[in-house]
Structures are given as C-alpha cells and as structure tokens.
A and B are shown apart, each in its own frame.
Chain A
C-alpha cells in the first residue's frame, strides 16, 4: 500500500508522517493534504481531520479489549467517552492512509526529486533574471479592505 501522508496517534500526540519530498513540493503537499481531508470525510473543513474523531478511531481499533475491530463503526461514541484517556494503556497507533491515486502520482514523479534538487542545488548558468520571487509576490493582491489574499495557484 502506497502512503504519502499518514496520521498516527503516539501516546498523547497526533503524528502526521510524510515524505520530505512531498513536504518540499507545494503541489504534492497540497494534493496530499486535500486527499487526506477527503478520506477523513471533512473535505470542507481545512483541517481535514479532527483530533476527537481520530481519538474515536483509536478506541475502536483496540476495541477496548485488545481485539481487532473494524475502523470507524457507526454510530460513533460520545466525546466524553475519550476524556478519561486510553484504555488499556497505551493506545495503539491508528494509521490513516490517503488515496492511492495521490501516492502513485507522487511516486511516479521522479521529477519531484529533480525539481527539489533544482531548488536546493547551485543556480543554473544564467546572467539574467529569475522571476520566481516576482511570481510569488504576484500571487498576492490587496483588496479594498487592505486584506491580502492569495489566488491559490500552485508553485
């Protein structure tokens, strides 16, 4: 199973795992996070997932008795159910996998690596003008209320 971005629960912390290549490529990062949000069923909220929601997934993974249980059964238990902490200790990690399609796209793109290295390496032979800085600034405009907005274009 290909996984570009994982979310696990480790003790009290929620851990998101991703490849540094994905993190360094805006297009891949945007795609990965969007996919994660959709998989978790919260596409409209920018968070993509909710810690309480993840807590429920964690609880049902262990089933309270250490037995395997299907993920995300319905209906979900009340939030208070999780306030008392993990039972038993420690909670097992829950992995949330994003869409394979995104993973494959990223994996297929060796040019993500090439693109990253192109930015981290020495500049190309050119005695002119790199417009990347100007293009980045051009993404942002100021509206009548002096609020700065971006157009959401990928870099």
Chain B
C-alpha cells in the first residue's frame, strides 16, 4: 500500500499539522507514548479515549509504530500490551505495524534504551520466533526496524546486513529501513552503508525512516535532533528508486528538539521527503545478490541470546553482572549508551516532576541535583514509562530525607497530579502555608521571594479540563466576578 510522506507524531509538531495539513499523507503513531502504565504488578495500562479521538482527527492515514514490543530479544512482550496494540491498529486502521529489531528488557529489568540483538544463528532463531508471535497477535503484516548499534563489530557475529536479511527472510516479514540508524552505525565504525544495503532484500522494504543526528564524545548519535544530514540525503536519493514496495517515508524528530530547531526546519524536511518520494518513479533493477552468509565464531565464545541481553543490559544500566565478557565490558560503546540512558532518565524526571526538579536545582544547585539523579540511576534500573520513572524517583527522594524547605509538599503535589491524570480521581493536597507564591515562583523558574502566609491551605486536583458551557461564545463572555 502506498501511503506517502509523513512524520512521527508528537504534541510538539501539532502547530505544523494545523498549519500545513496537506503536507502529511501519513502520521506515524507510537501508541505507547500516549498510554500510561500504573506502578505495581500486574501491569495496568490506561489509554485515554480523548487522546485516541484526537489522534484520529489529525491529518493523514495513521501508521502504528510500536515502541514497547521489540522483537530483538528473548523476553516476550506482555499480553496486556499486545492486546492494546492490536486495538490501536484496528482503531487507526493501520495497514501494517512495525517494531524494532532490538531489545529493551531483560528478565530482571528494563534497559531504558533499545539495545542490539545477538547477531548469531541463535539470535536469528530468537528474533524470528518473536516476529512470528507478534504477527500472530496483531493480525496485520509486521515490519521490523533496523536498529542502532554503538558497540564495535564482534568477530563471532554476523554482519549487520546479513543478520537483518536472515531474520526478515526466515520470518517472511517486511523491513522498516531506518537510514539514519544505519548511517549512524556506519559512521561509528560498523558495516559501511553500501555493503549493508547490498546485504538486504530491498524488495522487503515497506517503510523508510529519516532523521538528523549529532556528534557526542566521538560518536555520531541517532538523536532525531534536526535536519537530515546532506550526505545521508544524497544516499537516500540513490536508495529510494531501489525500493519497489516502498509504502511510506517518515521523518523523525524528538519532541525536545522541536523548540530548539523550530517548526520551519521540520516543514522544510518534510518538503525534502516529498522530493524523495517522487523518485519512486524511476525504479531501478535490484542490486546484485549479496555474498554468502556465514557466522564468524573463530574464538568460539558465543553467548546465547538471553545471556547476551543480560550482560549488555547490566553493563549499560550499571547493574551488577559477574562473569560478563571482558571485551564487551571494555567496548567504548558501553560508556556512550550508559550516558544516553542517564540523559533519557533525567529528562523523564524533569519532564514529569518539573516543580520538584526546579526546587531541588534552585535550593541545592545543578550539580547537587545531578548527583542525586546519578545516585538514583545507579540504584534503580530504568523504568519503561515516564509515570513509573517519576514514581520511582519520588520514592528515592523520600528515602533520602533531604532537608529542603517545601520539598515534601511540592513532591506530594506533583505525585497527586500525576496520579489524578492517570486514574481521573480527585485528590486534595494540604499545605501548611499559602502555596501560591511557591507554585508561581517555581513555575517561573525561581525560588519564592516571600514566605507564604501560614495557615490551612489545600489544593484540590480534578481530572477534567476546564469546562466550557455549551453554546458559550468564548469571545464575548465576561468574567463572572469582576474583582477590583
């Protein structure tokens, strides 16, 4: 099915969707980013119907790209999540669904990051089994996305391209070719891009992802941080005519970067994607057959997929892992991935507990706050959902018993806010002094300059948005109580 050009949905790009809806043939929805998961076990997921209806109202066909059921590991996705995913596919009428040829979960903990699968024969079997199971549950064709790998190539593993080919041919599935991912891998010393593409069965490519990146500590990062690099765009111009079954080209940008680069740049990139889409008119003959596939296992030190996932997951999250292969421990990619995971987790904390974070930064200083976060990340493994990360960090803060004025009440206020958003239950938070000076100051990024009046104060948090009376003309209505 030919869908056309689109973008990965986030709230940050909505003004552009409003302004230029005609630019978007398709919107890629990552459904888990719009779900909530409550703490505790068994997991309980919450999908807000208002959000589903809102997404349905946005321009373009909808394409479901899962970020919670990756197929690159041995840990199977939760049934509850698979059921929700299938419902999302049906509600959005997605012609196919995709997830990542990576893993983000060990039997013990989430990794907080997509990590590369074990690229061996055992790894192929593990991944193929996961893809088949996913396809059976979702009832639509499934495509798998080529992932990022910041590690050095390993002698005992298959080439990146041949591993992908083995997987998609054995599983008989589609391929989501993320060209910025493989561009990143090539720049960081893995398989050159042309060789990678020569390994792939290009007729299986249903979808292409493009994005921008950035350099950090000698690594090129798949940061989704802005414009598509010119070199990658030039390569893509050559690749598109080789993809006879291409159905969509999607631009990805991470929401945090949108305010930095601006929506005009995003719009410009979408225009460039339309130019790429037009190149499909000039289909070319497929590439020559790839070289024979073999597994290099000269040192015989093959880790089975599950052991690989445990070892890699533990190394990048700082969890104890006795007996971990020394060459893997020494891989420079471990350090960069550990740092990226910290930045993601810290961003989740400041994004969900904003007032608490600001109070800590203002009261203790940025370095002290960073130290608290580092201690937290070393102590508690990553949480897969922002709400869970907020809950875990809040409990960690409470255990520290920091003597920061107002911290307990601000933390309680924000925890109650998140809980009310999650379960729609009204909550009341008590304050021993007037909370308005404190809230207003923190919202403006400063400590309060005056002490709120002592007394009994409460904030009642309600679930609904502010109601608007039916038929009310918002432009003509006047305030009910004209004070002063």
Number of interface residues of B (CB under 8 A): 118
- Is A128 a contact of B420 with CB atoms below 8 Å? no
CB-CB under 8 A from B445, the residues of chain A are 139-140, 150-153
Question: Which of B33, B225, B373, B456 is A128 in contact with, Cβ under 8 Å?
Answer: B225
CB-CB under 8 A from A124, the residues of chain B are 8, 10, 30, 33, 67, 224, 254-255
- Is B466 a contact of A107 with CB atoms below 8 Å? yes
- Is B214 a contact of A107 with CB atoms below 8 Å? no
Residue B452 interfacial (CB < 8 Å):
yes
Residue B2 interfacial (CB < 8 Å):
no
Known pairs A124-B8, A124-B30, A131-B257; A19 contacts B370 (CB<8 A) = no
Question: Which of B224, B443, B463, B474 is A126 in contact with, Cβ under 8 Å?
Answer: B224
Give bound CA distance, A49 to B483, whole Å: 12
Question: B429-478: which have CB < 8 Å to A?
Answer: 430, 434-437, 439-441, 443-446, 448-450, 452-453, 455-469, 472, 474, 477-478
- Is A33 a contact of B440 with CB atoms below 8 Å? yes
Question: Which of B33, B446, B484 is A149 in contact with, Cβ under 8 Å?
Answer: B446
Known pairs A14-B434, A121-B33, A129-B214; A41 contacts B484 (CB<8 A) = yes
Residue B417 interfacial (CB < 8 Å):
yes
Known pairs A110-B50, A115-B11; A24 contacts B417 (CB<8 A) = yes
Most A Cβ at <10 Å: residue of B216, B387, B448:
B387
Question: A22-62: which have CB < 8 Å to B?
Answer: 22-24, 26, 29-30, 33-34, 36-37, 39-41, 45-51
- Is A50 a contact of B386 with CB atoms below 8 Å? no
A61 to chain B, nearest CB (A): 10
When C-beta atoms are compared, the residue in chain B nearest to A48 turns out to be: B436
CB-CB under 8 A from A65, the residues of chain B are none
Residue B384 interfacial (CB < 8 Å):
yes
Give bound CA distance, A153 to B435, whole Å: 21
CB-CB under 8 A from A79, the residues of chain B are none
Task: Give the tally of cross-chain contacts (CB within 8 A).
Answer: 312
Question: Which of B50, B67, B452 is A47 in contact with, Cβ under 8 Å?
Answer: B452
Question: Which of A15, A30, A107, A155 is B440 in contact with, Cβ under 8 Å?
Answer: A30
When C-beta atoms are compared, the residue in chain B nearest to A34 turns out to be: B440
CB-CB under 8 A from B464, the residues of chain A are 19
- Is A125 a contact of B450 with CB atoms below 8 Å? no
Residue B352 interfacial (CB < 8 Å):
yes
- Is B343 a contact of A137 with CB atoms below 8 Å? no
Give bound CA distance, A1 to B445, whole Å: 31
Most B Cβ at <10 Å: residue of A14, A18, A152:
A14
B393 to chain A, nearest CB (A): 12
Encode A117-149 as 1/0 by CB contact (under 8 A) with B: 111111111111111111111011010000011
CB-CB under 8 A from A46, the residues of chain B are 436-437, 440-441, 448-450
CB-CB under 8 A from B455, the residues of chain A are 12-14, 51
- Is A118 a contact of B340 with CB atoms below 8 Å? no
Give bound CA distance, A51 to B441, whole Å: 18
- Is A103 a contact of B344 with CB atoms below 8 Å? no
A27 to chain B, nearest CB (A): 9
Among B155-163, B318-326, B361-369, which stretch is in contact with chain A? B361-369
Give bound CA distance, A143 to B113, whole Å: 37
